[in-house]
Amino acid sequence: MKIKRKPIITVFASVCLAFLVSGCDALMEDEDKVQAIVDSYKSADAEAFFKKFENDAVVSHAGLECFFESVNSGSTEGMNAVYQKIHELTQDIEVSCEKTDSFDMPVTIKTKDASESIETAMLEAAKEGPEAFADMPSWLLKGLDNAVDTEVIITFDTRNPDMKGYSMASNPRFLEALTAGAYPYISCTMTTCIDSENEYEYYMVAKGDTVKYSADYSLFSLEGLDMTDDDLRELEDILKDELVNATGIVSGILYGDNYIGEYMYINYDDADNLTLNRIGIINSYDRSATISLSSTIDNYESAGLTTETTDFGSGVIAKRNQDTK
């Protein structure tokens, strides 16, 4: 049987058309692609944004999906107010890229940065007490209110072997600059663990299953106790002997109308694991060890503590659960 051949010109035209439809991004220079990412971010166009960035960082991807949904919804409840503020702060972001033969492209970014002011606000909340620290949206907003103008040069990893998009996991500094330094908090949750019997309270800020910050409180009720000033000073001295202050760890005395106590704030990115092991926070000397949120919750619940995890209405918990099914 004779097979009728399709004219080669038709085949060639079809290939060209397919390339024009699916491969137009491949024709763009890297600097144009980076600018396209910034433009899609500014307009909260999630579909265009995620075409440029590969979904290879599941936790961050879920958080950014919720971020864009929040910005487009206009909601100002809970974490949505934080997302709205971040997007508002970064509408004037400017980027310029330096052409290079390397995959590592220098990118200059002019924007707002609140990374330091957010951590300052978080530490202030920890010192204020459990209620203040547990209110993550409030200290995030306070930090964002103190954002400063900045210009940074970052290295953008342009490796995209499948030609679909750049790696989110390989470009965290770019994403931090894009979000006024708040990118590490966008997909975070707050977990509260209460030990009512022993008057202990534990609060953990986690990104996915990794605990990034915590504030622990030991509270001693003074109600019904006829304590003299000397008794109170003696109790203060006992508490001060237990305090630990080191890199990434801040602790102090907490005073209230009817109680006295101590707090310990930990930034796990900065704290030394040898110190954390010495004070009983972790049982490993491994410098790369991280604190698992799920394992910590299991341990606390086994010990009879009441635990609760919230995303303050951001939707990231439901999004992650959906993505892992």
In a domain, 10, yes or no: no
The total domain count for the chain is 2
Beta strands 166-167 and 53-54 are parallel
Q: How far apart are CA 211 and CA 189, in angstroms?
A: 9
Residue 157 has pLDDT above 90, yes or no: yes
Task: Assess whether 138 and 215 both reside in one domain.
Answer: no
Query: Are residues 247 and 286 both part of a single domain?
Result: yes
Same-domain pairing of 62 and 133: yes
Supply the pLDDT for residue 13: 45
Q: pLDDT, tens digit, for every residue of 61-120?
A: 788 999 999 999 999 999 999 999 999 999 999 999 998 888 999 999 999 999 999 999
- More confidently predicted of 252 and 56: 252
pLDDT attached to residue 197 = 83
Query: Across residues 306-317, what is the average pLDDT?
Result: 95
Residues of the chain with pLDDT > 70: what percent? 86
| Selected residue with higher pLDDT from 237 and 23 | 237
Provide the angle, in degrees to the nearest 10, between the axes of the packed helices 79-89 and 136-145. 20
Which one-letter amino acid corresponds to residue 46?
A
Per the domain annotation, does 17 fall within a domain?
Answer: no
Domain check: are 197 and 179 in the same one? no
> The CATH number of the domain where 197 resides is what?
3.30.1830.10
Is 116 a domain residue?
yes
Residue by residue, DSSP assigns 8-63 as HHHHHHHHHHHHHHHSHHHHS-HHHHHHHHHHHHHTT-HHHHHHHEES--HHHHHH
For every residue of 173-231, DSSP letters joined together read HHHHHHTTT-GGGTTEEEEEEEETTTTEEEEEEEETTEEEEEEEEEEEE-TT----HHH
Q: Is the dihedral of CA 10, 11, 12, 14 positive or negative?
A: positive
> Inter-axis angle of helices 58-73 and 79-89, to 10 degrees?
90
Whether 39 and 105 share a structural domain: yes
Position 25 confidence tier, pLDDT thresholds 50, 70, 90 = low
| pTM assigned to the model | 0.86
Is residue 8 one of the residues assigned to a domain? no
Question: What confidence score (pLDDT) does residue 159 get?
Answer: 87
Domain boundaries, position 114: 27-185
7 domain-assigned: no
**Same domain assignment for residues 69 and 96:** yes
Of 185, 216, 245, the residue that ends a domain is 185
What's the length of the chain? 325
Does residue 32 sit in the same domain as residue 181?
yes
Coil, strand or helix: which one is 301? helix
Same-domain check for residues 155 and 294: no
Q: Are residues 79 and 126 in the same domain?
A: yes
225 CB-near residues (< 8 Å, 6+ apart): none
Residues 205 and 317 in one domain: yes
